[in-house]
Structure 1
Amino acid sequence: MATIDSIGRTTKFVPRKKKSKRTVADWLLLTGAIVVGLAIAVPFYLILINSFKSPSDYASGGPLQWPAALNFDGIINFWNRVAFPQKLWNSFFISGLVAIFAVVISVLNAYAIGIGRVRGRTWIVVLFLLANVLPQEALLYPLYFMFKQVGLYDNVWSVIIIFTVIQSAFGTYLLSSVYGTFPKEILEAAALDGASRWTILWRVIVPISRPTLAVIVIFFFIWTWNEFLIPLTFLVSNANQTVPVAIAVLQGDRLMDVTTTSASALLGLIPTLVFFLIFQRTLTRGITAGAVK
């Protein structure tokens, strides 16, 4: 529809699109998202407020009441009793090296399987998939015996090696399917320009797949940070323990009170939360780049 104004110009009126009405499924999905959000937020809220209470304040007001005054005794007690800076460094050292090593190995494996087209690639990918579903409990005794023999038991490098292999198995399975759909025209053009396979990998494939690799690095870091069973088994000395192991060992102490327990959970959660917030944009860009060609 068009009209003519006072000076003879023609103006078009574009009708506004009607807002789509929300369906029952939309409201159910929104309700489910709110419930899940509350289920995640409520425990964090309880940990936060109880970390800054004194034991007497907790006994008189219970877990739901706000602290009458900020009390840092629980945080200070946990910090000193477990030598938290040392445990924090152990977790950062192990998780960071595992994330880097696992991504490098995954890229090399996926390049050979997805682009190199090795024989029996389907069965190789299936083996990597089976390695991901194998329970960690089945690995404990053989790995314990092996690292005892080579002298790496109660050494952080034993955990680094184990998690590098475990995480790279998943990374290889994921990246091999991604590299299998890589445009052949780009690879052929690089080969015609005289690029070797090594140059094609690091100058062509890795830069293009950088968003996906960034997402994998973030997930590998967080997954390794939260691991408990294998570090508990292979890092028995106090100097080599990670943050989750230190929290679990201290919570088994009968002298622990609720406020110190809450403080230990809060201090164990803050590093991964900060890491996630710092790399949130990288994670979002990586997911978006993987979803949109």
Structure 2
Amino acid sequence: MATTLVPPVEDGRTRSSIPSPRLPKAKQRKRKKTVADWVILGAAIAFGVLVALPFLLILVNSFKSPQDYTNGGPLSLPTAIYLDGIVAFWERVDFPAKLWNSFVISGVVALAAVVISVLNAYALGIGRVRGRTWIIILFLLANMLPQEALLYPLYFMFKQVGLYDNIWAVIIIFTVIQSAFGTYLLSSVYGTFPKEVLEAASLDGASRWQILWRVIVPISRPTLSVLAIFFFIWTWNEFLIPLTFLVSNSNQTVPVAITALQGDRLMDVTTTSASALLGLIPTLVFFLIFQRTLTRGITAGAVK
């Protein structure tokens, strides 16, 4: 049997014993950016600038005096830090009371809407009630109704029961509206829930309530957290229904209080910008606090 000799190299080792050079993993994975990558990056940066521009204008004009605004316009920088607009809005509308009203309404709506959505979706998505598809379509259509079409019937109803000009009227309305969307979303999620897990829990002696609160809710906690965050922010930013049902100054929310600075023929732009900044800060802080929860909840369904 013929054998093939491998010629030795200068240091006495055969060529087969010399390890082939390998590039570091970082260099192996590194890829040159193409023209398309730079175009996408530039478009993303331009879009980010367009989104941030209104917020920057609000921030700049909030600390600008009316004289600076008149002389330089909305795009100029303030010559000095002017805080009278923030102080004037804070004292004029009693901002701490408005902040508390918005926080109570948004917080109660977020929690109540999530609980009702879970109960409805458990019956529709896992319980498989009759007419499930039509009920889900009904929830979807109810969520698509414009708020203007609901104002008069809701006004008449809450006027009759004595809840007009009461924050509980707004809480009940938004709880129903938000839970309609939550029911539609969670019904689709629970409809694909693994049956093996439910059967295993039933064999272990768990009741329907135990299956819901000890199996389904812990597994779907990321989705429920995202719903609660969205419900809170959506309710906080609502304007039309709080304006209609909360006529007393002591019951109004932050978005409604901002309109107190707008007159028929005259509007203080710098004070209005300061009020918009004060109304934006709570939702921004809330979003930053729960940013990690929101990111985990959104990406939870993308990875098995």
TM-score (norm 1): 0.93
Task: After TM superposition, give the deviation of residue 110 of structure 1 in Å.
Answer: 0.3
| 93, 96, 116: which one aligns with 2:127 | 116
| 81, 91, 104: which one aligns with 1:80 | 91
1:190 matched to 2:201? The reply is yes
Map Cα deviations across residues 32-83 of structure 1 (whole Å, 9 max, x no partner): 3223212221111111111111212222232222211111000000000010
Matching residue of 1:159:
170
Map Cα deviations across residues 240-281 of structure 1 (whole Å, 9 max, x no partner): 110001102322365642210110111111111110011000
Q: Distance in 2 between matches of 1:208 and 1:180?
A: 14
Answer with 110-119 or 60-69: which moved more.
60-69
Change (3 A) 1:100 1:14: same
Amino acid corresponding to residue 239 of structure 1 in structure 2: S
| 3-state SS of 2:301 partner | helix
Change (3 A) 1:190 1:259: same
| 3-state SS of 1:154 partner | coil
| 3-state SS of 1:58 partner | helix
Map Cα deviations across residues 172-226 of structure 1 (whole Å, 9 max, x no partner): 0000000010111111111111000000000000000000100000000000001
Matching residue of 1:106:
117
Q: Distance in 1 between matches of 2:43 and 2:232?
A: 29
Matching residue of 1:67:
78
How many pairs are equivalent? 289
Task: After TM superposition, give the deviation of residue 23 of structure 1 in Å.
Answer: 5.0
| 3-state SS of 2:19 partner | strand
Matching residue of 1:11:
19
Map Cα deviations across residues 97-145 of structure 1 (whole Å, 9 max, x no partner): 0000000000000000000111111111111111111111110000000
Matching residue of 1:235:
246
Matching residue of 1:132:
143
Amino acid corresponding to residue 42 of structure 1 in structure 2: L
CA contact (8 A) 2:126 2:190 kept: yes
CA contact (8 A) 1:111 1:179 kept: yes
Change (3 A) 1:290 1:18: closer
CA contact (8 A) 1:87 1:241 kept: yes
| 3-state SS of 2:104 partner | helix
Amino acid corresponding to residue 284 of structure 2 in structure 1: L
| 3-state SS of 1:291 partner | coil
Q: Which runs of 5+ in 2 are unaligned?
A: 1-8
Change (3 A) 1:20 1:119: farther
1:221 matched to 2:229? The reply is no
CA contact (8 A) 2:114 2:179 kept: yes
Matching residue of 1:290:
301
1:56 matched to 2:64? The reply is no
| 3-state SS of 1:11 partner | coil
Q: Distance in 2 between matches of 1:10 and 1:189?
A: 57
Change (3 A) 1:190 1:81: same
CA contact (8 A) 2:225 2:294 kept: yes
CA RMSD of aligned residues (A): 2.0
Amino acid corresponding to residue 252 of structure 1 in structure 2: G
Instruction: Tell me the percent identity.
Output: 78
Task: After TM superposition, give the deviation of residue 13 of structure 1 in Å.
Answer: 3.5
| 267, 284, 296: which one aligns with 1:273 | 284
TM-score (norm 2): 0.90
| 3-state SS of 2:205 partner | coil
Change (3 A) 1:218 1:257: same
| 26, 45, 61: which one aligns with 1:34 | 45
Q: Distance in 2 between matches of 1:87 and 1:14?
A: 64
Larger Rg: 2
CA contact (8 A) 1:5 1:11 kept: no
Consecutive aligned runs of 4 or more in structure 1 exceeding 6 Å deviation: 4-9
Answer with 87-96 or 49-58: which moved more.
49-58
Q: Distance in 1 between matches of 2:76 and 2:217?
A: 52
